[in-house]
Structure 1
Amino acid sequence: MRLKTNKRLARRNRRITNYLFFGTFAALIGGFIIINASLFTPDVPDTLTLIAQSAILPVAFVLTIFSVRMTNLWARRPRPEDAIAGGLKGLSNKSVLYNYYHFPARHVLVCPQGVFAITTRWHDQRFTFRKGKFRSHKNILSKFFSAIRFDGVGRPLRDAEYASSRVQRAIDAVADDVTVQPLVVFIDPAAEIEFEDEPSLPVLYADTKKSPNLKDFLRDKKREMDEAAGDSKTRNANLMPLTDEQIEAFEAATT
């Protein structure tokens, strides 16, 4: 499998993540000093202290939110591109995994089984899937802090549908007979999902030791395609959903 990653974007965002971390740390220290300024310099006017407090605390809060979000998306391990690639070992060498080129689809896979827009979740928690929603098993306090940080699991099914629709536009420009399929993949091996209802689209693990996982899903899909295709000549004629020329055109237009 060929990997094509927007390394420049990934490096830049990881660098921004580091800046945000130190900026948040500095803002929190500055806020502590300003709040307790009267202990160090009694001559500081109360009005000035109040204004400074009103300014620094919201800034520190916003920086904290952005820092946590950027860390989860760009610096947290396992990194999505590595987890997906690791889960796809053994996939056809004609396959291509694109990382960070087709936002809001952060990952796009082109392989014999089709074209897939992959929406990932980094969360390492236990969830129950019921009535179209993922419900966390966290306690109330953890849910409260998660809500403040805006780092909940959100609505991955909706996000995956939207991401696939955006990739579909790019694919339609080079091949109007190919349907982009949405997938949701949890990349952390510690993630656990109990399915009380059947999701409207595949929800998978990147870890091959868990089920259902991405590798088994593609293997089963290939088996179904082979059975539907019948003889080997038909199978060989449909090895990839896009020709080499179409893949080149897709890359030229989007990467």
Structure 2
Amino acid sequence: MQVAVNAEYVRSRQSLIQRTLLIGFFFLTASVVIVLLYQQLIFVAWPLMIIGYIITSLTRQIQFDLGQNVRTDQRLATALKSLSNRYWLGNWIPVGSVIVDGILVGPEGVLVIETRNHGGVTECNGNKWKRRKNILVRFFTGEPSLGNPSIDLQASLEAITKDLQEAGFGDVPVSGAVVFTSPDAVLMLDDCKNTALTSAQLLRWANSRQVPSVVISDATRQKIIEHFSAKITSAKSPAHQEQEVKAK
């Protein structure tokens, strides 16, 4: 499988994490110093503490979305590594105003992947998502919000569909899935309106989509890959591009 990563996006997010972490630490430290040494200014400490908490929460969200310990794109690539070289996985591709977590291009068409890195049990009922963890547990463990994967996936699907139509690939099939990349993720689905998978299920599902007859030709598939690859290279110099090609 061919893999392309928007390395500039990764670097920018890592840089943002470092900056917000320092800023949040500064505000929290300042609030503690004021409480301990300048109690007459305690009315200033509380706003500083709140600002520091908000900034550090933002840092955790960015870090969590990017992937802790193992990056999200690396988890997707590992899950799909046995796919043949006819498949291309693009990560964090800018399409319109949306950064698409994952785009898998293959003979069957284009699969849009919306990722979540939450472990444990997640429930989906229709278009409603809920974490099984108690809100206090999530607060003290620092787990960021799940958000609504259905809404985010729909935004990516609409952006990809419009982009392909404008590029002359309007007849290419486009589908989507929400993928939970954490190794201990468990999904409880009740009439979930979207395809929802764990990373362990992703390869099996991708293989199940394969059909005897090719939906899009190799030439069209290559043009689509080049189209999405250009969205990475146009945002930075070739020296900053991170490309990895693996053959089955």
TM-score (normalizing by structure 1) = 0.79
Matched, 1:154 2:137: no
Matched, 1:119 2:111: no
Q: 1-side partners of 2:89 and 2:115: how far apart? A: 14
Q: Give the aligned partner of residue 82 of structure 2.
A: 90
CA deviations on 1:76-133 (whole Å, 9 max, x unpaired) are: 1332101111111121202211111223322111112220111000101212323432
Cα 1:246–1:75 change in 2 (3 A) is: closer
Report how many aligned residue pairs link the two structures. Answer: 229
SS of structure 2 residue aligned to 1:106: strand
Matches within 5 A, 1:165-244: 165-174=158-167, 175-195=169-189, 197-207=190-200, 213-222=201-210, 225-226=211-212, 229=213, 235=214, 238-240=216-218, 242-244=220-222
Greater alpha carbon shift after TM alignment, 245-254 vs 91-100: 245-254
1:135 to 117, 130, 133: 130
1:191-237: CA deviations, max 9, x gaps? 11122x23222111112xxxxx1111111111xx21xx3xxxxx4x8
1:56 aligns with 2:44: no
Letter aligned with residue 215 of structure 1:
L
Could you say if the C-alpha distance between residues 241 and 122 of structure 1 is closer, same or farther in structure 2, counting changes exceeding 3 Å?
A: farther
> Is the contact made by 1:113 and 1:240 (CA closer than 8 Å) also made in structure 2?
no
Say if 2:4 and 2:229, in contact at 8 Å, map to a contact too. Answer: no
TM-score of the superposed pair, with normalisation by structure 2: 0.81
C-alpha distance 241-115 of structure 1, shift in aligned 2 (>3 A):
farther
SS of alignment partner, residue 36 of structure 1: helix
Superposition RMSD in Å: 2.5
Judging changes above 3 Å, is the alpha-carbon distance between structure 1 residues 132 and 247 closer, same or farther for their aligned structure 2 residues? closer
Is there any run of 5+ residues in structure 2 with no aligned partner, and where?
234-248
Does the C-alpha gap of structure 1 residues 150 and 75 become closer, same or farther in structure 2, counting only changes over 3 Å?
closer
Which of 94, 99, 116 is the equivalent residue of 1:104?
99
> Which segments of 5 or more consecutive residues in structure 1 lack a partner in the other structure?
40-45, 208-212, 230-234
User: Greater share of strand residues, 1 or 2?
Assistant: 2
Match of 2:66 among 74, 77, 92: 74
Tell me what 2:238 maps to: none
Following superposition, the deviation at residue 75 of structure 1 comes to 4.6
Query: Equivalent residue for 2:245?
Result: none
The answer (yes or no) to whether the contact 1:168–1:180 under 8 Å persists in 2 is yes
* Residue pair 2:2, 2:88 contacting (<8 A) in 1 also: yes
Q: 1:83 to 1:75 in 2, by over 3 A?
A: closer
Greater RCO (Cα-Cα under 8 Å, separation 6 or more): 2
Q: Secondary structure at the match of 2:197?
A: strand
State the shift of 1:50 in Å: 4.4
Is 1:247 aligned to 2:225, yes or no?
yes
1:43 aligns with none
